[in-house]
Amino acid sequence: MSGKDPRNGDPDDSHERELIDLEFQSMVEGLSLDQSSPTTYLDDLDKFEDQNRFQPPTPPKVGLSETVKRISKSFKKWKNGPTFRDDDGAAL
């Protein structure tokens, strides 16, 4: 503060202290101690997780004739492919 000994009871010290107290009170008046809130931090986290969950894509339904065509095409590709099939079919 002003570097004076506060035990002397100087009027300047009391005035300075009063100004500090008033400034502190003005800052505290703007604060709200009401902690009631419609949602909590944990509610916000749950909401965030619900919005960001993986939703697998829904493939379009295929009719019976299209399924048979795909099976036939796959079988022909397999049959006309390489003759050496010693692996499980996975390729890197």
Measured in whole angstroms, how far is the alpha carbon of residue 84 from the centre of its chain? Answer: 50
DSSP per residue over 39-59, as a string? S-HHHHHHHHHHHT------P
Burial of 16 from C-beta contacts in 10 A (0-12 / 13-18 / 19+)? middle
Lowest-confidence segment of 2-11, 35-44, 51-60 by average pLDDT? 2-11
User: How large is the C-alpha radius of gyration of the chain?
Assistant: 39
Higher confidence at residue 89 or residue 13? 13
Percent of the chain with pLDDT over 70: 64
Would you say residue 8 has pLDDT above 60? no
Residue with token string 């010693």:
86
pLDDT cut 90: percent of the chain above it: 23
Tokens 């002397």 identify what position? 8
pLDDT at 1 over 70: no
What's the pLDDT tens digit per position in 58-88?
Answer: 989 999 999 999 999 999 988 887 666 666 6
